[in-house]
Structure 1
Amino acid sequence: MNVPPPPPYYPGFPPPRPSPGGSRKVVFAVVAGLLLAVAVAVNGLLFFGMAFAGDSCGTSAGTARFCDDSGVWMLVAMFGPMVTLAAAVATVVLGAERLRRPWTALVLGVLVYATGPALALFTVFG
């Protein structure tokens, strides 16, 4: 009696488990994305304002720091927020990926970014 062998048994793979903290990663990404969008909007408004802030330098309304002859402070006021935004993004990305502390890195990134607009406003309004 020649009986054919039974078909091979291949057990199905179990469904993948959700990664631990998966929903927290989504919430972090959404919050970080919203903060980035707000920062880009603030930078755009500040850049636009700083482009015309030099118009008051010939009047008594201009501050001595912003209206000096070198133009260095005008460049700091225009590009400072963009530089600090890049530094803040790097801080958040490195802090979240390398140190595994995403929320702490996000708070630190917000503080790093806030120095740019504060420096620009301090430069213009003295």
Structure 2
Amino acid sequence: MSLPPPVYPPSYGPALPPPRPAPSGPAWVGFAVLAGLLLAAAVAVTGLLFFGMLFAGDSCGTSAGTGRFCDDSGAWMLVAMFGPTVTLLAAVVTVVLGVVWARRPWTSLALGTLVYATGPAVALFTVFG
């Protein structure tokens, strides 16, 4: 005589909440279009800042250079040059994780925009003091 198989999952404890539905419809299309436009604008701003930071150190021998940016180590030049690129990558990761894991596309897009905005702000603050 054999016993019946156990019931899985066990019937005790609270049940797991149902998963959130995947985003679809016109709101999802609007999110994708807006995210694409913001990404294109961020890539353009990052490229222009990177190009501008290549030549920002030229003023370090004159009175126009700021003390923090023109120190001897060159660390602040690297922060100003690569900061927007790093924050762009961090913003993309923030938005993708927010959409995939949390299923909160609009919240993650707003958070990703704020994450990206810190990069150009730090770069411009570094150069112009």
Q: Give the TM-score normalised by the residue count of structure 2.
A: 0.81
Q: Deviations over 1:63-101 (max 9, x none)?
A: 001000000000000000000000000000000110011
Q: What is the aligned partner in structure 2 of residue 62 from structure 1?
A: 65
Identical positions, percent: 79
- Tell me the distance in 1 between the aligned counterparts of 2:73 and 2:24: 52
Q: Does 1:84 align with 2:87?
A: yes
Cα 1:69–1:20, aligned 2, differ >3 Å: closer, same or farther?
Answer: closer
Q: Please state whether the residue corresponding to 2:102 is helix, strand or coil.
A: coil
Aligned to 1:124: 127
Unpaired runs of at least 5, structure 2: 1-21
SS of the residue aligned with 2:69?
coil
In the TM superposition, structure 1's runs of 4+ consecutive aligned residues that sit over 6 Å from their partners are none
Provide the rounded CA distance (Å) in 2 between the counterparts of 1:117 and 1:59.
Answer: 24
The answer for the alignment partner of 1:14 in structure 2 is: none
Letter in 1 for 2:102: L
* RMSD, matched Cα: 1.2
Aligned residues: 108
Matched, 1:41 2:47: no
With normalisation by structure 1, the TM-score equals 0.83
